[in-house]
Structure 1
Amino acid sequence: MLLGAQRFDPTLGAAAAELGLDGPIATITAGWQEREGEDSDLHEHLGKRTINLRLHRRADEAFRADPELHAAHRKKQERLRHKQDFYRIRLEHELDANHVIRQRKAPPEILAEEEAASIGAIRLLDEYHLGQCAKVESEFDAAWRPFERDSIARHRHEIAEILRDTVAIAIAGGHVATLLNRLRLFGIAELIDGQVVLAWAAGAMAISDRVVLFHDSPPQGPGASEVLDRGLALCSGVVPLPHPETRLRLDDAERVALMARRFAPARCLAMPAGARITYRDGRFGSPHRVLRLSIDGTRAPVQPTDDLLPEEWA
């Protein structure tokens, strides 16, 4: 289940009850970084039946025990940062070009063709960047085989033992890059064995196919959405957009259309506080307060009868 932000108006407990979850729930708060252990409110909200997997702390312990792996991991992260920087430079130019094209006066059919070509170039750049990230990750895994190293294997064994007795895994938000990093370091996706996953904010982003960073009106000036990396793909075919109340200009039809066309056929779902939607066997259901962004620049609440079929972007 994907949910909206939980900080001020938590709905996680109600969602767990709605799903009939009766038993221990593993929690992942690694996105909170050094505040990972400050989960008493979450523990209380879920009926004092949570077990925090402490992925952030476990990573620190593993790296202290294995300096070679730590150094290699830091080098990998540095490569990813460089890749992100160069991607961002190219992306800014492509987005600027798209903006200029949309302002030009031309016969409608020509303008439509050129705008489609511009969006196609942005999509190709996004896919290229995702491919570069995957290449860096696969090279690291092949060279270091972290799951086979004692420093990581010990923690994975402990995590697997904890998960064996749980009915669900609750993945909180926070710093999405840190969260995704820790989820991947310990291979959490591969350790899930029938547990229901409840994820909100950055947690929802991390379990999708791709992680998209976005803010239409950041303090430093005009914002540009950018792809960060592949997600865990536990929930496929959507781009979760948490905190739309403060991060998206949903009244700007051009921005909405560009977002929807850029990531189609995946469906862009704005997830405000209190929102939730289930995902089971490749299908979505039981939507509440979820908004779907469409390629025509509109946004509308997802209805229980909606199939959330993908849209063609061009």
Structure 2
Amino acid sequence: MLLGPQRRPGLDKVIAGLQLDGPFATITAGWQERELADDELDQHLGGRATNLALWSRRQDVLDRDPDFAAAHRRRGVELTDLQELYLIGVRHTSRALTELRSQTERSERAKRFALSDAEDVLRSLDRRHLERVREINAGFYQATRPHEHPLIAAHRAEVAHLLGQAQAVVITGGHVGELLDALHLFNVVPAGLERLPVIAWSAGAMVLTERVVLFNDNASRGPRAPEVYDDGLGLLHDAVVLPSPHQRLQMQDTARMSLMVRRFAPAVCLPLDPGARVDLTPNGGLPATAPVLDESGNVSTFAALRNVGRMDRGPHEVSEERSGGELRGVTDG
């Protein structure tokens, strides 16, 4: 289940409606150093929450395993450089698209061709960037072999044990990069996340997808083009999750929203405003009522994007192929 940001928490009502008794494994790694300040979250879960403390566990590894910590830092520097250089290309291509759209005196056919070519460049930048992120991450895990580090192996075993006792998992928001790194390091998906009910919001919902996309049209330095960040956990297929879109996107600019829809297709863009709730189908797909951005750049439903015979199937079966406060008032990265 995907929820909108919990500015006015309603998690207790959701849990009651699902008739879940717990215990609940909670993942608050996106809150970073405030990870264990989770009393309010525990209250909403009826006092039956067990925090997996993934961020604290990762910090323990970085403090006590200097070789792994050094490799982790080197990877971080390389990924940051890669992201910033990729963004230069994204920014220039996005500006070119804006300029092309303003060419009102050109022939419509020529303008359409030019816009299509520029959009292809943008999609190519996204695809190549994600491939290189994968290469860096694969090289890091191959070189460090975390499962052979006794401290990491011990933490992984403890996490798997706690997940084995849980009835469901709750993943909050916070810093999406920190959350994703901790989830990968402790191998949380095969340890139990893929077999348990999951309730997630904001960054927690973003990391469930195949591809994490960052966005902020209302940044202090002006609108930023959406940027592909990294692979997610892959539990939700062919969807890009957009928490707090009316706060962080220029939703009234339908041309801009339409470009986002085309850019990330065949994945659908899934806006999650406060109060939103999306219950995935048993096969991991979106329900007919899920809010999505359509090709015109307006909010529609998943049913309207798919014909009646296909709307209840998962997005992966029908294709070929950072936000507001949380319970603790932190951002979702």
Query: TM-score normalised to the size of structure 1?
Result: 0.93
Instruction: Give 1:169's aligned residue.
Output: 169
Instruction: Work out whether residues 295 and 311 of structure 1, in 8 Å CA contact, stay in contact via their aligned partners in 2.
Output: no
| Alignment of 1:115 onto 2:115 | yes
Instruction: Give 1:262's aligned residue.
Output: 263
CA RMSD of aligned residues (A): 1.9
- State how many pairs are aligned: 309
Instruction: Give 1:46's aligned residue.
Output: 45
Q: Output one character per residue of 1:76-95: Cα deviation in whole Å (capped at 9) or x when no partner.
A: 11110010011011111111
Report the AA paired with residue 278 of structure 1: D
Report which stretch shifted further, 82-91 or 293-302. 293-302
CA positional deviation for 1:233: 0.9
CA positional deviation for 1:57: 0.6
Report the AA paired with residue 296 of structure 1: S
Instruction: Give 1:211's aligned residue.
Output: 212
Instruction: Work out whether residues 217 and 247 of structure 1, in 8 Å CA contact, stay in contact via their aligned partners in 2.
Output: yes
Q: How does 1:18-33 map to 2 (within 5 A)?
A: 18-33=17-32
Instruction: Give 1:297's aligned residue.
Output: 297
Q: Give the 3 Å change call, closer, same or farther, for CA 295–286 of structure 1 in structure 2.
A: closer
CA positional deviation for 1:29: 0.5
Instruction: Work out whether residues 43 and 50 of structure 1, in 8 Å CA contact, stay in contact via their aligned partners in 2.
Output: yes
Q: Output one character per residue of 1:45-64: Cα deviation in whole Å (capped at 9) or x when no partner.
A: 11111100001110111122
Instruction: Work out whether residues 22 and 167 of structure 1, in 8 Å CA contact, stay in contact via their aligned partners in 2.
Output: yes
Report the AA paired with residue 284 of structure 1: L
Instruction: Give 2:62's aligned residue.
Output: 63
Instruction: Work out whether residues 287 and 302 of structure 2, in 8 Å CA contact, stay in contact via their aligned partners in 1.
Output: no
Instruction: Work out whether residues 264 and 311 of structure 1, in 8 Å CA contact, stay in contact via their aligned partners in 2.
Output: no
Gapped regions of structure 2 (runs ≥ 5): 321-333
Q: Secondary structure at 1:214's aligned position in 2? A: strand
Question: Within 1, Cα distance between the matches of 2:288 and 2:295?
Answer: 23
| Alignment of 1:87 onto 2:89 | no
Question: Within 2, Cα distance between the matches of 1:225 and 1:13?
Answer: 33
Report the AA paired with residue 275 of structure 1: A
Instruction: Work out whether residues 170 and 199 of structure 2, in 8 Å CA contact, stay in contact via their aligned partners in 1.
Output: yes
Question: Within 1, Cα distance between the matches of 2:12 and 2:286?
Answer: 20
Q: Secondary structure at 2:216's aligned position in 1? A: coil
Q: Output one character per residue of 1:237-262: Cα deviation in whole Å (capped at 9) or x when no partner.
A: 11010011210121111111011111
| Alignment of 1:103 onto 2:132 | no
Deviant stretches of 4+, over 4 Å: 301-312
Question: Within 2, Cα distance between the matches of 1:209 and 1:20?
Answer: 29
Q: Percent same amino acid among aligned pairs? A: 40
Q: Secondary structure at 1:125's aligned position in 2? A: helix
Question: Within 2, Cα distance between the matches of 1:24 and 1:285?
Answer: 27
Report the AA paired with residue 129 of structure 2: H
Q: Secondary structure at 2:292's aligned position in 1? A: strand
Gapped regions of structure 1 (runs ≥ 5): none
